[in-house]
Chains A and B, each alone.
Chain A
Amino acid sequence: MTDRDETYSRIEALIEPFNKKGVEITEGTRFAVDLEWDSLTVMDFVASVEDEFDVLISMNRVAEIETVGQLVDAVDQLQED
């Protein structure tokens, strides 16, 4: 399992409690459109990602992230910084 795979599966697990509709998660799953998350759900979720990976994800950064795959890449990059 590569580092990216590991990040992906940890994020997948974090999505679980917020995935009320039981949507199947893939790289391309869109948070707003497919998971139908509102802004407060997004902020709660982002906080849990921050705590899991011990990183800070600014609101400006969050605004640019649309899909699960993009979030995985962003978290990997933040961990390298």
Chain B
Amino acid sequence: MTDPGLEMELGGSREGGGSGDLFSKFDPLIEQRRALLAKGVTDPFNLVMERVESPAVAICNGRRTILLGTYNYMGMTFDPDVVAAGKKALDEFGSGTTGSRVLNGTYVGHREVEQALRDFYAMDHAMVFSTGYQANLGIISTIAGKDDYIILDIDSHASIYDGCALGNAQVIPFRHNDVDALEKRLRRVPEGAGKLVILEGVYSMLGDVAPLREMVAVSKAAGAMVLVDEAHSMGFIGPNGRGVAEDQGVIDDVDFIIGTFSKSVGTVGGFCVSNHPKFEIMRLVCRPYVFTASLPPSVVATAATSIRKLTGSSAKRAHLWENSKRLHAGLKQLGFTLGTDQPQSAIIAVIMPDLETGAAMWEALLKEGLYVNLARPPATPSGMTLLRCSLCAEHSEEQVGEILGMFAAAGRSTGCI
């Protein structure tokens, strides 16, 4: 998605002002925030969790709060095996590696988590980065060179755009999920130029899924390499939880899958898996991999344990889908406008008429004891304000009922429904 960070405007739209203060360019945003907070609303971007009881519940402002905006899809953060593996690694290997993966920062745990990924995806190569953001930044900027073309969905995540900005390739966005628009642009690429098509399995703002079967087919027909970011599908979409590309039967035609440990895996870190025979050279040429410290031993130990457990989590997957369907149907019935007609993922986006109503509704939900994400432009497509809900396999059926009750109360008190 176009998270904050996508700044492509025709000609210097950010004017210097000439005052000499480099912060003058942020004045419009500072003013927008001031005006919003002056109305007495709680700052939606400054919430503190005082205690976290489970993947589904935390204490915020002294109040028990159901968490419905964490991306903790599979609820692995408090899994006893995962926590035990982290503690053991902390005891045995210390708090951090203090080094790059290519120098002193590769411990046995880093190798083990990469093996867990190769097994999980049934692919030949896996490379772990310190965050998912860095995985996109590193892979995209390194593989697409000056005369190559990157064709990407316009609603791509900020990390994808930043990866493009860090490299030197020709960057061409196409209309969201539009197979025809992608095909036309592929056809216009000059003969002989390298082509990289970048897609996401699930788009995080509206929770909609890409038509990967068709898109991968037209990309391959045009001789392009394909990279799919499966951050929001790992662990629960596809027969083995490998994501949308697996679900739609095209994973073997995808050259690179990018993923993260900060969602279903339940910790932090990013990765790329691939079957490309020359993939291992990336470890030497990819600057966001080389010039940063590797993940702490406890983090890679929790990630490896979690990934191994995700492989056999079909009952949890089924429950997560039930939760998603129930929340989607319930919100629709209450009269809310949703980002997708049918539930396509574990993200359900409630579309708000404007930022002020969205902020008021967000605050009313928090007072009811429910946390969701408030998403606003430029992170959102078409200038929308969204209340983004992401479900967790650890939400009980009763909690989903409770959540719907809170939406009903907050919706009525703010005049949304």
Contact = CB atoms under 8 A, between A and B. Distances in A.
A54 interface: yes
A31 B10 contact: yes
A47 B377 CA distance: 20
- Interface centre among B9, B13, B382, by most chain A C-beta atoms within 10 angstroms, is B9
A70 B175 CA distance: 24
16 contacts: A31-B10, A33-B13, A38-B378, A38-B383, A40-B154, A40-B377, A40-B383, A42-B9, A43-B154, A47-B154, A50-B184, A51-B184, A54-B188, A56-B185, A65-B11, A70-B11
Interface of A: 30-33, 37-40, 42-44, 47, 50-51, 54-60, 62-67, 70-71
Contact of B7 (A39, A54, A64, A65): A39
Given A47-B175, A58-B171, A32 B9 contact: yes
Given A56-B185, A56-B188, A59-B164, A39 B9 contact: yes
A66 B188 CA distance: 24
Contacts of B7: 39
B340 interface: no
Contacts of B377: 38, 40
Interface in B158-197: 164, 170-175, 181, 184-185, 188-189
Interface string B188-212: 1100000000000000000000000
B171 A59 contact: yes
Contact of B381 (A40, A54, A63): A40
Contacts of B382: 40
Contacts of B12: 32, 66
A55 B173 CA distance: 13
Contacts of A39: 2, 6-9, 378
B378 A40 contact: yes
Nearest to B187: A54
Contacts of B184: 50-51
